[in-house]
Amino acid sequence: MPPKGHRTIIDISAGQPGLDFEHSDYLAEFTLPEYQRRLLVPRTYALLTDLGIVLGLFLIFVVVTLSEMPETALLDRHALGVYGAAYLILTVVYFALSMLNTSQTTGMYVHHLVAVTGRGARLSPGEALYRALGYAVSIVPVFLGFLWAFIDPEHLTWTDKVSGTFIKRQ
């Protein structure tokens, strides 16, 4: 027994490996490509649900504006361009407001999905706005950014990559 006032120090560093909690082997399951691959079908259904909602809202907009146009007005290239831009803006605003509000769209809610950070937390307003920017980037080239998940090794859309967020089951 050591004398009083003397401390015994036990050093276990020689026999214990260090734990690197920042290493990729220790990431949350939902960040792994296999997990994201399993979500491709539910994500597709959620996206189609959301696009159906936006299309319904857009058709209301079209009917209202066409009913207010004079009968002599023609739907030329410029008018169709304005309608196309309106659809794009409506879609991005829909996704942005959904992400800012609840970190999920209506389609994601119906299919039990939620957008989260790499640590599993709901999105902050800044992260939600980055995700909205990602939606715009994914939509503009004929929705190619969403199809990207099917060929990407990590199974992430451009939206996910731009914002650094993930989708997980709720």
Contact 150, 40 (CB under 8 A): yes
| pTM of the model as a whole | 0.80
For the chain, what percent of residues have pLDDT higher than 70?
A: 85
pLDDT computed for residue 72 by the predictor: 81
User: What is the residue-averaged pLDDT of the chain?
Assistant: 88
In DSSP notation, 91-113 reads HHHHHHHHHHHHSS-HHHHHTTE
Work out the average pLDDT over 46-57: 97
pLDDT digits (tens, 9 = 90+) for 118-155: 999 999 999 999 999 999 999 989 889 999 999 999 99
pLDDT computed for residue 11 by the predictor: 59
pLDDT computed for residue 76 by the predictor: 85
Distance, CA of 10 to CA of 7 (rounded, Å): 10
pLDDT computed for residue 5 by the predictor: 56
